[in-house]
Structure 1
Amino acid sequence: MTTTATRSEPRIHRAWWVAGITMAALVAAAGFRSSTGALLVPLEEEFGWSRATTSGAVSLNLIVYGLTAPFAAALMERFGVRHVVAAALALVAVGSGLTLVMTSPWQLWLLWGFAVGIGTGALALVFGAVVAQRWFVRHRGLVVGIFSAASSTGQLVFLPAIAQLADGPGWRWAAGLVAVFALALVPLVLWLLRDHPADVGTTAYGAAAATSDAVDPVAAPAPRAVPDAGAGTVALRTLRESSSSRTFWILFGTFWICGWSTNGLIGTHFIPAAHDHGMPATTSAGLLALIGVFDIAGTIASGWLTDRVDSRYLLCGYYFFRGLSLLAVPWLLGPHVHPSLFLFILFYGLDWVATVPPTVALCRQHFGAERASVVFGWVFAAHMVGAGVAASFAGWVREWRGDYFGAWLTAGLLCVLAAGACLLIPRVREGVTAAT
């Protein structure tokens, strides 16, 4: 009987097909998000807008992007991942497409801040965490690492092309590329993505092995159940229940710093900062894309380590060394790429979003599999609010001081603080959920 059942199973588990289309959507969302840094200077030159104006639009985008995440996770629980993701891609296409005809700053804030912010927020790493939680038991940490690396792949694929288009035909061609690609993904998502293994008569990858080997008994996803409350109610209720936990606030605060030191500072201001030092935008965009190349390896490795090493120690090391690297940036930027700057790109790239797999694991360990996705949604919201504050803060520092020195110093010190805070998270025994 066992042999017959085995022969009837598909050669490739359906979870990997779902993971593939999830990767494509995450790559696209990351590409849409990373395009803003390459378009700041062209927009300022054409419309005469200040760095504070354009940075403010990016800040709004990042904040809306983050705050969308927990509600998107709850919407996915209620209406299904497939429909939410397809709607999000369509919204990104509309928001990016309408920038082609904008003429005023308020339109930039509306389209970049709200339309693209909400659309990409629903396609954030919370989306990947939901898919990994539902479809994988074996190699879940590794899969989360692969999904996290998709954000870097998005930079790698899109950013050099966007920078070249902005520098050549113009920024409208770059915005158009984003709109067309987002729209093209919608039918693929509707065709390949499925909400839950039970929808196609299967189980999560590795679920049977987890049951027989007694590995993480709370990890195997339960059959799909529609929540008995609206998405907003579920998200807010989870926040209220989790907010009594010290662990939640440590993860919330450290991920706020993570967003400050990545999307908010490097993702938004690395290209303009390098431009201040005489480096061409195409060169700095290439370096930012190179960060994405190294981060693919770093984040996948972090996912592998998360399955084997205490996540608290991983986060401590990631934040500490990231802080040291950011403190060195003011002395590394220049008109040319020197070996020391390349070493920063290598080191920082390996650490870019390596924090995601251990953070997701800690959410699951401390708050349980059922609440982990929405809890991580709120933690991720802190990440993007921190990024939004950093984008405006760095733009304000640049306007006030004429350089980014204060922004680099602040980000470096915050990361060192986050490293120490991670050691205050209590340890949880395998298979035991404790919100403390």
Structure 2
Amino acid sequence: MTIVKRSSARTPGHLHWAWVVAAVAFIALLAAAGFRSVPSVMMEPLNSEFGWSHGTVGLAMSINMTLFGLTAPFAAALMDRYGVRPILAGALSLIATGTALSVFMTESWQLMLLWGVLVGIGTGSISMGFVATVATRWFVEKRGLVTGVLTAASATGQLIFLPLIAEVTTRAGWRWASIIVAASALAVVPLVLVFMRNHPSDKGIGPYGAPLQEAPPVPAGGSFRSALDGLVIGARTRVFWFLAGSFAICGMTTNGLIGTHFIPAAHDHGMPTTVAATLLATIGIFDVAGTVFSGWLTDRVDPRVLLGVYYVGRGISLMTLPVLLSPHAEPSTWVFIIFYGLDWVATVPPTIALCRSYFGANTPVVFGWVFASHQLGAAVAAFGAGYLRDEHGSYDVAFYVAAGLCVVAAAMCVSIRRPASADPAEPRPVAHT
């Protein structure tokens, strides 16, 4: 990348445009998170109105999460080729369309199409690959912190939308809740069109903390080829498979299991939906703090150690959950909520840091595939936990299996070899070993 000496990345007395881009990205991620508050709250109303089982709704979310994950690397490649702004605006429009049209559905296949396919592709385009793109292009200083803040946007969305969706669903029905989510996603599109930029050079500046740089050339060979090249680059390394495997387990134990099934699991123990939704939203409060703090720690502590600690702690908390659920939010239940919230996606900043250490400028697309594994894991858990609930009458087996898998994820992460650079956040050439 050629350095141009005529400009500085900072303009004295003015806000660096990187923070504007980060703010718009945060709002877009927050709006996309609105839909992820919907399935767990609406599972019981859909069951009551249409007779759809936990497994049926879980299957729709499994399709959603699969496409969410598989879309991420291709979306990152499309952003490289066509720019962030059109892809982001299109993704928000897809989320709004799929959610709004769901108010007219009467058959389960429509649930699969709208919640599964349309919203899955839309949310997959606004995922952690997007976070990696913004953080890598626009920040040199504060990169870990920004990664943590953007990652926390999903939790902030959960915090805002979950109590609202639960209350609206209880009082006015699930259709009005769907309309609120659709309108929220659509409202962000004008902000994206006005303020989002593809690269710092578009504004005549460099990334935050670095001098002006020329924008990288548009990838040759098409976005599909670029995305597959990212997979090939990653698949040649052992670190990619360890990160993908551990991140799949991360997806199983967050979005797939707790995000989709915590409210119906609590409902099985007699807890009202609004109370369970408040608890799940509270996870979002502590998730914001935990993820931002994890981003700060990632700039200072070996990411492998952080990931090992995070996964072990998550496994312990899942082992205790079956005995903590009750008709009321007991103090022990709050301990789980706080601990799990702090750990929810604290894994993202150190995972991105390790990707950056090994894959350098290829990080957004390679991490897109790592994140695809996260969502594939979530898809397995979304359907699998619902199936186990239908078969056994409770979620206990699902919680115990997930706890054991967390130990496996911790072992994978601590087995990753230390990058040659003393600073694990420093981009490194790809290692083909």
- Preserved CA contact (<8 Å) 2:138 2:200: yes
Provide the rounded CA distance (Å) in 2 between the counterparts of 1:378 and 1:5. 34
**Aligned pair partner of 2:300 in 292, 299, 308:** 308
Displacement over 6 Å in runs of 4+: 4-7
Provide the rounded CA distance (Å) in 2 between the counterparts of 1:406 and 1:123. 32
* Corresponding position of 1:120: 123
Offset from partner CA, 1:200-232 (integer Å, 9 cap, x none): 111100014xxxxxxxxxxx9762321112111
Normalised by the length of structure 1, the TM-score is 0.94
2:172 counterpart of 1:169: yes
* Corresponding position of 2:377: 386
**Aligned pair partner of 1:364 in 351, 356, 362:** 356
- Preserved CA contact (<8 Å) 1:57 1:112: yes
* Corresponding position of 1:185: 188
1:22-101 equivalent positions in 2, closer than 5 A: 22-101=25-104
What SS does the corresponding residue of 1:195 show, helix, strand or coil? coil
Give the counterpart letter for 2:337 in structure 1: I
* Corresponding position of 2:395: 404
**Aligned pair partner of 1:241 in 233, 244, 247:** 233
- Preserved CA contact (<8 Å) 1:311 1:361: yes
1:183-262 equivalent positions in 2, closer than 5 A: 183-208=186-211, 223-262=215-254
Provide the rounded CA distance (Å) in 1 between the counterparts of 2:161 and 2:397. 30
- Preserved CA contact (<8 Å) 1:135 1:221: no
Offset from partner CA, 1:102-138 (integer Å, 9 cap, x none): 1100000000001000001101121111001110000
* Corresponding position of 2:325: 333
Provide the rounded CA distance (Å) in 2 between the counterparts of 1:24 and 1:150. 7
Provide the rounded CA distance (Å) in 2 between the counterparts of 1:366 and 1:278. 48
1:2-21 equivalent positions in 2, closer than 5 A: 9-21=12-24
* Corresponding position of 2:263: 271
TM-align CA RMSD: 1.6
What SS does the corresponding residue of 2:52 show, helix, strand or coil? coil
* Corresponding position of 2:154: 151
2:404 counterpart of 1:417: no
Provide the rounded CA distance (Å) in 1 between the counterparts of 2:372 and 2:363. 14
Provide the rounded CA distance (Å) in 2 between the counterparts of 1:7 and 1:236. 36
- Judge which range, 122-131 or 78-87, deviates more: 122-131
Provide the rounded CA distance (Å) in 2 between the counterparts of 1:182 and 1:245. 38
Cα 1:336/1:221, change in 2 over 3 Å: farther
5+ residue gaps, structure 1, are 209-219
What SS does the corresponding residue of 1:194 show, helix, strand or coil? coil
Provide the rounded CA distance (Å) in 2 between the counterparts of 1:399 and 1:221. 56
- Judge which range, 32-41 or 304-313, deviates more: 32-41
Provide the rounded CA distance (Å) in 2 between the counterparts of 1:324 and 1:108. 35
Provide the rounded CA distance (Å) in 2 between the counterparts of 1:78 and 1:177. 33
Offset from partner CA, 1:145-201 (integer Å, 9 cap, x none): 001111100100111101111111000001000111111111111001111100111
* Corresponding position of 2:273: 281
Cα 1:176/1:365, change in 2 over 3 Å: same
Provide the rounded CA distance (Å) in 2 between the counterparts of 1:142 and 1:8. 21
Give the counterpart letter for 1:305 in structure 2: L
- Preserved CA contact (<8 Å) 2:8 2:206: no
5+ residue gaps, structure 2, are none
- Preserved CA contact (<8 Å) 2:10 2:208: no
Provide the rounded CA distance (Å) in 2 between the counterparts of 1:6 and 1:344. 44
**Aligned-residue offset at 1:434:** 4.4
* Corresponding position of 1:216: none
Normalised by the length of structure 2, the TM-score is 0.95
Cα 1:196/1:47, change in 2 over 3 Å: same
**Aligned-residue offset at 1:433:** 3.1
* Corresponding position of 1:212: none
Q: What's the % identity of the aligned pairs? A: 55
